[in-house]
Structures are given as C-alpha cells and as structure tokens.
Amino acid sequence: MTIYINKDETVFHLEMKDSSYIFRILENGELQHLYFGKRIHVKENYNQLMAYEKRGFEVSFSEEFEDIQQSMIQNEYSSYGKGDFRHPAFQVQGMNGSRITTLKYQGFELKKGKNRLNSLPSTFDDIGQCAETLTIILTDSILDLTVRLNYTIFPKYNVLVRNTEFLNNSNNKLTLLKAMSLQLDLPDSQYDFIQFSGAWLRERQLYRTSLRPGIQAIDSLRYSSSPQQNPFFMLSRRETTEHSGEVYGFNFIYSGNFQNMIEVDHFDTARVTVGINPVEFRFLLNPAESFVTPEAIVTYSDQGMNQMSQQLSDFYRHHLVNPNFSQASRPIILNSWETFYFDLSTEKILDLAKAAKDLGIELFVLDDGWFGHRKDDKSSLGDWVTDRSRLPEGIGFLADAIHKIGLQFGLWFEPEMISIDSDLYKNHADWTIHLLDREKSVGRNQYVLDLTRQEVVDYLFDSISKIIIETNLDYIKWDMNRHITDIYSIELDSEQQMEFGHRYILGLYQLLDRLITKFPSVLFESCSSGGGRFDLGLMYYAPQAWTSDDTDPIERLKIQHGTSYGYSPSMMTAHVSISPNEQSGRQTSLDTRTNVAYFSSFGYELDVTRLSVEEKEQVREQIQFYKKYRSLFQYGDFYRINSPFSCDSASWQVVSKNKCQSILLYALLNSKLNPGYTRVYFSGLDKDKCYSVSGFDEFFYGDELMNAGIKVSLSNLALCVPEYLTKLFVIEEVVCKLCK
Ligand code: GLA
C-alpha cells in the first residue's frame, strides 16, 4: 500500500488498505479526479475512467483544448470562470480585480511520513512509518501564483488528509477569496447526507436525508465550530447501515467558521467541499507571502458506519491527539459545577474533595467562580487570580490540600473572554473585540478578547501559566460561552479585516500550543457551553471535551450516539449528575445515569457528600467497575447497535482489540406493558471464541451471540421501572473446555 505513479507520471494512485484514490493530469495541465472507493488494482492507465465527452451548450476550456469541458470532468481542485459552474474549491483575485485562474501542473513531490503544520493543529506521523505524502504543484502563470495540493494517506485507517498552500510569487498583491481544504467529486449522487446538528443541551442529533439537485451544506459563521452544526458528516449509500455498505466520513481539523458543502449538478454528480467558510473570509497575500489551509480528512469504508467510526477513532489516537494523552487512562473526575455553582468556600470544596476521594474518584475539578470577584456570571472574566474573599488562603493552598487528600487538581478557565466588571477591562478595554463607533453585542454578560493581537495572547499565556505553577495543576477545563460578534480588530488594516476570523483561531491555537508545550503533563478538556466546540482542531490540544451541559442520561443517549460517529468515546466526557436532572427534570436511577456515562471519559457532577450510605456503596462499586474496564470503555472498538434516533431502545457495545472482553449497554426508552421478548444482538466478537455473559450460567460462542442474540424478558422489569431501564452485559472469553 503506497502511492503509485505511472511511467509517464500522469496517473497517481493512492492505495490504502481497503480503498483507492486516483487522479491524473489532463492534456491542458489541469487535474482530473478518477476514483475514490473500494480498492482496485494498480494499472498504468484507466482509459475508461479517464475518458470524457463533449456536450452541447457546455463551455470548452479553450480553442486549443476544445474537447475539454470542465463541467463534464470530475476535478481535483476546481476553479471558477472557465466552464465549471459548480462552486469552486478556491478563488484568487488579481490586481486587476479578475478572479480567473487556470492552474497547470508543474510537478510533484513524494515523501514518507507527514509533518505537522506550523501554526495549525494537524495530523502527524512523527516516526514516518505509517504515512506517505504527495504534493502536486500547480501554477497560474498570469497571476504568478503557486498552489500546492497536499495529499497524505494513512493506509491502515483508509484515511486521506488534504490541505492546500497558496504562494504569491508575483510582485503584486493577490487576494484569496476562498480556499477550501478538500474537494471530492463523486460520479453520482445516490447518497444519503448524514449530518449532526443541534443546539445547546441537544448537540449532535442525527439527520439523514437523500442528496438532491442543488446545494446542501452545514456551516458555521459563529467563529466557532458550534453546537448548531458539527463539521463531521457522512455520505453513505442509501442501503448502508451500521454493519454494511459504503460510507465516506469527512471532518475538518479546525475550530472556527467552516462550510462543508455538497453540490449535486445537472449531470447528477456530487461535489464535496470542506474548508473555511468563504463568507467572512478574505486573505491578502503580499509578494512572497503564503497561506496554508487547515487540514480536512476523509475516510472510506464498505463495511458500514461502525467500521468507519472505528477507523477514525484509531486514526485520531495515533495521528491527531496529543501523544502525552492519546493512549493514557483518563482520570475519573468530580466536577464542582452542579454542586456549588458560584457558592464556593475552602471548607465546602475540601469536604467535597474528601468525599470524592473516599469513593475512588481521582481528579477534583473546581469549576467556575474561583477567580476575580466572580459571585455570578456578571464579572471577573480575564482576572485569573484567586478570589481571596471566598478562598482566603489562596488557590495554591487549596490545590496543595487537594493533592494531599490524594486527588489530582483541575481548574476551570474561560480564557478567551472578558467581563466589563473586571480589572482587565479597567486596564485594557481596547482588548475587547469591538467597533469604536457601535455599541457592542453582549452574550452571557460577557465580551470576547481580540486574540488576533499578540499582546492579548501573551497576557493570557502569562496569567494562566502563573496559576498552573502556583497550583501544580493537573487539568484545565477550557470553556467558551459565547459566540463572536462585532467583528473588527484595531490592529488590522481595513483591507485585512476579513482575515479576522482565521487570525482569531490562529491566536487561540498559538496560546494552546504554548501552554501544552510548557506544561506537557496538564490534561486539557475543552468545553463551550457544553459540547459547542467539539471539533478536531481543539482535540489536537485538548484530548477530551465536555459533550453537553445536558447530563440527563436519556437525552445523553442521543447526544453520545450522535457524537460517536465522528469522534471516539475517550474524546467524550460524561458525568453522573443528580436526579431529577437539573436540565430536564427527568428522574432516573443511579444505575441508568452511570451506565450511560460509562461509555466515555467518565466522572461525576454531583454533591457526593449528600449521598446515602447505600448510594455511596453503590457508587464505590460502580467506580471500581469502571476502573476494571476503563481501557475497554475509553479505547475499545465502539459499536452502535440500536439507535435512539430510530428505535425504542439504544444499544452500544465496546469490544477489546483482542476480542476477549466486551461490554454491551441496552437501554429501553419506551417501555410497554406486557411486551414480547427482546433480542439483544452483539457485534465485533470472535465467532469461534467462547464467552461468558453476565447474568447467564451457560457459555456462548461468539457466533451465537452475534447471530442468534440473547433473549431478554423485559416484562417484569418494565412493570417495576415504568420509565427507563438500562442493563449492562459483561462478556468475557472463557477457556473452551468449559463449554457445555
Ligand atoms: C458552561 C459549561 C458548564 C460550566 C459553566 C460555568 O456553561 O458548559 O459546564 O462550566 O459554563 O460557568
């Protein structure tokens, strides 16, 4: 598996474990996409795939290349204005105002491995043994513009990573109007578009619709990837299920405005583009300057969506997430937010921490309210110093005391924000994103700092560093609770104001990069009013993210199910909270809350000092259980079996890589009186291995569990628990002679 180039260096075949990606150079120097799908043999030429026809009333490239009509060709990275009327992958404006470009092939570079990008989060192959990178060099001779298309394959995971670099070689200014990271022209449109859209408290709900002529897109203009639309999406064949069929999964390694679009044209082809949202984007390229787009990834599976998600999970673990944490056991957290909100005192914090330690919890996180004079959400953002009125001994003392109890210590920050009622605002009101001649829009009583300015990034780096050093901190929850408005930076020229969005994200990434480099043992968790910035850009620095402010386990079944398509369980954090739930008012058992939260990086958001003796004992056992199976929950192969979006039940399973251990969750969402039998089917086991299943005396071969399933009677249970029932099945391999 590698990148093959034919003898006359016109056909490029990127061969992965189960898939092939092929393109070639056309006679006019442009690129023609030929194929991306199930692996096919390497050949010198693919004449029938390379063929193109001329059609009436389409426009030819030129008189010289009269037979080439861009609209009849699948393209690799298309321009606009020479006969392809679909949305282009990029647009560059020259000095004369024209946006016409014709990129012609100049050559290629091929190398083993994959370098990290300089100022953006990116995939990597530090050892240089897994990946191979091909760069195609194209130029527009009139603009004197070079475009480098980078393709990296990670063959084992069927993952292709793409990004683009634009270099201005001319003596004039050029303006980039659009610069997508990935384009994929598919030859037909018989696909379903599966997207994960939502809102605060109901993030990443699954929507599946068939492609239709015209444009369908997900995007963000919130200067954040947002809870409204997640950048991850899939295109699957109509008949594709979790277990079979073709599916492509796309994602974008970026935390700001994005636009992921599919355009179905009049010939029924589907063009996919993934990249920075061109609305609110424009980038000036002075002579010799370049622009590098963030990376986009696409993976292919012909074995259904579970395999696609597993490929991505394994890929992220080895080639995206900070290696200091990507394989590490994530600690069991107790987060103070729903216990205290802003009502803090040293005594209360230490009591909670002691009770947490007693139950087996490993990391205590002091959430909002410890800094400045923040007694509610109206003040102090930006003042990252201890609030001595409530924590008189200081945060260093508190951290020390918590470490002495035997717990790790973590703190909440919302670094990108500023409150008007803060010392920072008194001294640096101008650091707030605003326009001098207009009133600022406000969200959650707060404003956003201008991270395009180096002095702002430096201030945040210094003040957060001080606290990390003072507390010997183990963990940071990095929150972001409002979206950006009043876009303007006093430091940018008027012709550069549309660079703001990207420059803001670069400032954020610089800050995170400096912090994780200086403090490599601090675990970062990202958050944005819950799961509002759940994206691969942040995941590069912060290996886990708060999945949602909604901790109701029944709601969480949907949220975690939706999230699991594009992200792995270790990336999601889920906490057991109080019942009735503070967000939904729904009442659920401690078992149900715990069973759902297990399938993640697990924790509590609960006043554990107030649990009864019996509840404490139950929690202790639940924590021991999680510790025993932690690596299975966090890093096992995750299977979705029943979907809460389409069934009366939800069911998930994790299976160890060696297929010796597995746990299945069955959650009944709508119980009926006097129901029939329910069969629970397992996935991913070894058909010839013999297994025990908790609650059953007999042993089972894997094929029986997967094909015949287990018959569960819910009738009695449904009568006792009229609402929701969850049940865990623990599956362990047993030695075969035990089989009866
Ligand atoms: C956001 C987060 C919560 C909590 C609060 C604190 O809403 O999602 O988990 O940290 O902020 O203000």
132 Cβ closer than 6 Å to some ligand 1 atom: no
Dist. CA 264 → ligand 1 center (Å): 40
346 DSSP assignment: H
Q: Mean of the pLDDT values across residues 121-143?
A: 95
Peptide bond into 580 cis (omega under 30): yes
- The 10s digit of each residue's pLDDT in 479-509 is 999 999 999 999 999 999 999 999 999 999 9
Dist. CA 339 → ligand 1 center (Å): 12
Query: Which helix H or strand E contains 462, and what residues bound it?
Result: helix 454-471
550 Cβ closer than 6 Å to some ligand 1 atom: no
> Strand pairing partners for 686?
none
Query: Which helix H or strand E contains 380, and what residues bound it?
Result: none
479 Cβ closer than 6 Å to some ligand 1 atom: yes
Q: How confident is the model at residue 671 (pLDDT cuts 50, 70, 90)?
A: confident
Alpha-carbon distance values, 337 to 5, 270, 548 (Å): 57, 46, 13
Q: How far apart are CA 194 and CA 233, in angstroms?
A: 6
Rounded to a whole number, what is the largest CA-CA distance in the chain? 86
Q: How far apart are CA 601 and CA 574, in angstroms?
A: 6
529 Cβ closer than 6 Å to some ligand 1 atom: yes
Task: Answer whether 104's CB lies under 8 Å from 31's CB.
Answer: no
Nearest to 147 by CA among 77, 200, 199, 96: 77
371 Cβ closer than 6 Å to some ligand 1 atom: no
Cα-trace Rg, the chain:
27
pTM above 0.75? yes
Dist. CA 546 → ligand 1 center (Å): 9
Task: Answer whether 641's CB lies under 8 Å from 729's CB.
Answer: no
| Cβ neighbour number for residue 275 with a 10 Å cutoff | 28
Cα 567 from chain centroid? 6
Q: Mean of the pLDDT values across residues 521-526?
A: 98
What pLDDT, on the 0 to 100 scale, is given for residue 738? 52
Alpha-carbon distance values, 402 to 206, 349, 388, 407, 427 (Å): 41, 9, 18, 6, 34
Q: How many Cα atoms within 13 Å fall on the side-chain side of residue 14?
A: 31
Alpha-carbon distance values, 74 to 42, 68, 355 (Å): 20, 12, 62
- The 10s digit of each residue's pLDDT in 16-60 is 999 999 999 999 999 999 999 999 999 999 999 999 999 999 999
- The 10s digit of each residue's pLDDT in 211-265 is 999 999 999 999 999 999 999 999 999 999 999 999 999 999 999 999 999 999 9
Dist. CA 529 → ligand 1 center (Å): 6
Dist. CA 628 → ligand 1 center (Å): 30
What pLDDT, on the 0 to 100 scale, is given for residue 674? 78
446 DSSP assignment: B
Atom of ligand 1 minimally distant from the CA of 529: 8
Mutate to test the pocket of ligand 1, among 481, 551, 606 (most ligand atoms within 8 A of CB): 481
> Strand pairing partners for 12?
5, 23
Whether the pLDDT of residue 724 is over 70: the answer is no
Alpha-carbon distance values, 366 to 101, 169, 344, 404, 738 (Å): 54, 52, 9, 16, 50
- Mean pLDDT, the chain, rounded, equals 96
Task: Answer whether 210's CB lies under 8 Å from 201's CB.
Answer: no
Dist. CA 530 → ligand 1 center (Å): 7
CA–CA–CA angle 412, 418, 421 (5° rounding): 105
Nearest to 103 by CA among 119, 90, 113, 122: 90
Nearest to 453 by CA among 507, 406, 407: 507
Q: How confident is the model at residue 715 (pLDDT cuts 50, 70, 90)?
A: low
Q: What percent of the chain has pLDDT over 70?
A: 98
- The 10s digit of each residue's pLDDT in 555-564 is 999 999 999 9
Three-class DSSP labels, 159-215 = EEEEEEEEEECCCCCEEEEEEEEEEEEECCCCEEEEEEEEECCEEEEEEEEECCCEE
What pLDDT, on the 0 to 100 scale, is given for residue 675? 79
- For ligand 1, atom 7: residue with the closest CA: 529
Q: How far apart are CA 439 and CA 419, in angstroms?
A: 15
Residue whose tokens read 């001329």: 54
Q: How confident is the model at residue 722 (pLDDT cuts 50, 70, 90)?
A: very low
553 Cβ closer than 6 Å to some ligand 1 atom: no
368 Cβ closer than 6 Å to some ligand 1 atom: yes
Q: How many Cα atoms within 13 Å fall on the side-chain side of residue 655?
A: 21
Atom of ligand 1 minimally distant from the CA of 477: 10
Describe the crossing of helices 454-471 and 395-405 by its angle, rounded to 10 degrees.
Answer: 50
- For ligand 1, atom 2: residue with the closest CA: 529
Which residues 6+ apart lie within 8 Å of 700 measured at CB? 690, 691, 692, 693, 710
Active site residues: 479, 549
Atom of ligand 1 minimally distant from the CA of 412: 10
Mutate to test the pocket of ligand 1, among 337, 413, 417, 419 (most ligand atoms within 8 A of CB): 337
| Cβ neighbour number for residue 12 with a 10 Å cutoff | 22
689 DSSP assignment: S
Nearest to 218 by CA among 258, 278, 251, 270: 258
- For ligand 1, atom 6: residue with the closest CA: 368
Mutate to test the pocket of ligand 1, among 200, 341, 368, 414 (most ligand atoms within 8 A of CB): 368
Q: How far apart are CA 358 and CA 609, in angstroms?
A: 10
481 Cβ closer than 6 Å to some ligand 1 atom: yes
Burial zone of 618 (CB within 10 Å; 0-12 exposed, 13-18 middle, 19+ buried): middle
Alpha-carbon distance values, 707 to 44, 183, 521 (Å): 43, 40, 45
Task: Answer whether 3's CB lies under 8 Å from 132's CB.
Answer: yes
Q: How confident is the model at residue 1 (pLDDT cuts 50, 70, 90)?
A: low
Which residues 6+ apart lie within 8 Å of 317 measured at CB? 326, 327, 568, 570, 635
Which residues 6+ apart lie within 8 Å of 158 measured at CB? 16, 17, 18, 19, 299, 300, 301, 311
Q: How far apart are CA 211 and CA 557, in angstroms?
A: 27
By DSSP bridging, strand 661-668 and strand 725-733 are antiparallel
Q: How far apart are CA 291 and CA 489, in angstroms?
A: 20
Q: Which pairs count as long-range contacts for 306-310, CB under 8 Å and 24+ apart, including other chains?
A: 306/242, 306/243, 306/638, 306/639, 306/640, 306/683, 306/684, 308/234, 308/247, 308/248, 308/249, 308/565, 309/249, 309/564, 309/565, 309/566, 309/568, 309/638, 309/640, 310/637, 310/638
Phi, psi of 294 (to 5 degrees): -60, 170
Nearest to 600 by CA among 630, 569, 557: 569
Q: How far apart are CA 287 and CA 647, in angstroms?
A: 58
